[in-house]
Structure 1
């Protein structure tokens, strides 16, 4: 059966160092592996506690520096730098002496981390040491979300994480313990007896109304949660750290109960945390849609520039014949002008010669008249 534990890490580096367990695999564990028939050459190569490694959104060779840079980028200077999830598997599901199982368990750890905290940096290290040599993952989740920069909060998130782990186990045909679902709702002995007879249980009625509101896509924050419950006849009283619910049941009796009496899923912190996760998911989707729109706009701008370039090229090609014709006309005009200039010069010479001949001819006549 697959189980989980959650905790926070004030130092992500320390959590990663412990999870990797560099050169810390005990000789007793090597002996155990050899006694179980694991290839001696493979065992000789093992030195770290982590017999398998994997991750999401990280380069495992530079995971410490990468996670630190991400925290600095988003201004993550709080006391909590990362979160740890320990995911354990029983021998009925995986044999710790099977090297193939090491990689399978590690892959399950990566998938669990991805589902718990999407868009986070996640490193997963698989161990086989400890009591009973049960395979287990140390999942280190860096605090900031890579898209929004907001921290993942683990407080009161055990029920959600356990449910995700159970779903993952069922998908892979692994055994599942049943106490997680029992922690979600709290039924008194009287309620169980009444329910067993098929009679009306007002708390189940109330839970059903709350569940339907939480499944409503319009429920985006606690104010909307209260408003939509009011539409279903339920009044939510905010009591600071928790809430109570009041409504008129099917038997026309006024009922009032605090959230913890209904179960952990109906407590204020569990509800606000789930709504915050939805908001974060919507924000990530919105940012993703914006990015897609930016890509579309960039493509449109590229196509527009391409069209404008082609249009200018066509215009230039159309102008080329006109330019050639103008050039030819200019050349003809220049030739004509030159010819006319040459002709004018020739006529000028002829005029001067004619004038000279006239002067020469009239000289004797002028002399005769002077006598």
Structure 2
């Protein structure tokens, strides 16, 4: 059972120093490993909090310098230098006293980092200290995309990262947390009104948002805003939340935040669905390009064959 925590770090160096924990493995943790049968020769070589290290697009011997150079290269001077993801596993999947599991857990951390932030520099440090000695990864993601230079842009990203993490656990036959599906939020008053078959303006608003999200024109936030506008709804981003405003069936101005409508209407859920839709459209576009290239190649081959056939009589005459 793997759980996820996400945070931002203003100092990439500080985040990496903590994740590596150079020379900071406590004696009580070393004693615990010894008491639980880990080879003394192996324990004597452990000094850092990180018992396994890995990464993607990174030289672990120079990770701080490399990430800083990348941020400088792309001119990124924002408050956030790196993203931090903590991926923690339960004892039913991995045992902290089994050194082979240290590397397995680290490999899963690298794969998770690769999925949530492709084309980014990712460093992963595996710890076994802390409450219950659960194996857990500190995944440090540098903000710039190495291909585009754009920042890691996912705000309120817990749902998307958790989905990737659950998929990864399923693929490796690990325990997956059973979470309740996203639900709408209805107050007691709304439920009473709805039970009488009367008009509920929040349901009207939800219907309009659902229709906009299902509209084939909706592929990103800009197009979603335009489609919602056609349906009489104004959408606004307010920090970590999103709000919707419209005139209801009684021509009254109504406004509600996504948190008041339900988890499906919150900023994170909306942006995650739009991001997935963009990825699917991009994959389809690339697939169509590949298909067109095959068609062009086939046509070129046919043309060469026709040219070859047209030259044969002349050759035979000579």
Same structural fold, with TM-score higher than 0.5 when normalized by the shorter chain:
yes
> Equivalent residues in 2 for 1:128-277 (5 A)?
128-179=128-179, 181-182=181-182, 185-186=184-185, 188=187, 210=209, 213-214=212-213, 218-229=217-228, 234-239=231-236, 241=238, 242-244=242-244, 258=256, 259-268=258-267, 270-272=269-271, 275=274
Q: RMSD of aligned C-alpha atoms?
A: 3.9
Tell me which moved more, 1-10 or 238-247: 238-247
Offset at 1:30? 1.3
Please tell me whether the aligned partners of residues 10 and 82 of structure 2 are also in contact (alpha carbons under 8 angstroms).
Answer: yes
Structure 1 stretches lacking a partner, 5+ long = 196-200, 297-371
In the superposition, relative to structure 1, how do residues 30 and 149 fare at CA in structure 2: closer, same or farther (>3 Å)?
same
Residue of structure 2 in register with 1:310 after alignment: none
CA offsets 1:74-103 (integer angstroms, 9 cap, x no match): 101112110101111111221111112111
* TM-score of the aligned structures, taking structure 2 as reference length: 0.73
In the superposition, relative to structure 1, how do residues 24 and 208 fare at CA in structure 2: closer, same or farther (>3 Å)?
farther
In the superposition, relative to structure 1, how do residues 18 and 223 fare at CA in structure 2: closer, same or farther (>3 Å)?
closer
Offset at 1:180? 6.5
Counterpart Cα distance in 1 of 2:149 and 2:69: 12
Counterpart Cα distance in 2 of 1:193 and 1:145: 50
Please tell me whether the aligned partners of residues 214 and 225 of structure 1 are also in contact (alpha carbons under 8 angstroms).
Answer: yes
> Equivalent residues in 2 for 1:1-371 (5 A)?
1-179=1-179, 181-182=181-182, 185-186=184-185, 188=187, 210=209, 213-214=212-213, 218-229=217-228, 234-239=231-236, 241=238, 242-244=242-244, 258=256, 259-268=258-267, 270-272=269-271, 275=274
Counterpart Cα distance in 1 of 2:192 and 2:262: 18
Counterpart Cα distance in 2 of 1:180 and 1:160: 15
Please give the secondary structure, in 1, of the residue aligned with 2:44.
helix
* TM-score of the aligned structures, taking structure 1 as reference length: 0.63
Please tell me whether the aligned partners of residues 49 and 129 of structure 2 are also in contact (alpha carbons under 8 angstroms).
Answer: yes
Please tell me whether the aligned partners of residues 163 and 180 of structure 1 are also in contact (alpha carbons under 8 angstroms).
Answer: no
Please tell me whether the aligned partners of residues 127 and 136 of structure 1 are also in contact (alpha carbons under 8 angstroms).
Answer: yes
Please tell me whether the aligned partners of residues 6 and 84 of structure 2 are also in contact (alpha carbons under 8 angstroms).
Answer: yes
Bigger relative contact order (CA 8 A; separation at least 6)? 2
Structure 2 stretches lacking a partner, 5+ long = 195-199, 294-318
In the superposition, relative to structure 1, how do residues 193 and 92 fare at CA in structure 2: closer, same or farther (>3 Å)?
farther
Offset at 1:117? 1.5
Paired positions, count: 283
Point out the structure with the larger helix share.
1
Please tell me whether the aligned partners of residues 82 and 141 of structure 1 are also in contact (alpha carbons under 8 angstroms).
Answer: yes
Counterpart Cα distance in 2 of 1:245 and 1:264: 17
In the superposition, relative to structure 1, how do residues 237 and 205 fare at CA in structure 2: closer, same or farther (>3 Å)?
closer
Please tell me whether the aligned partners of residues 234 and 245 of structure 2 are also in contact (alpha carbons under 8 angstroms).
Answer: yes
Offset at 1:256? 6.2
Counterpart Cα distance in 1 of 2:191 and 2:89: 32
Q: Which is greater in Rg? A: 1
In the superposition, relative to structure 1, how do residues 58 and 244 fare at CA in structure 2: closer, same or farther (>3 Å)?
same
In the superposition, relative to structure 1, how do residues 34 and 215 fare at CA in structure 2: closer, same or farther (>3 Å)?
farther
Offset at 1:39? 1.7
Offset at 1:191? 8.2
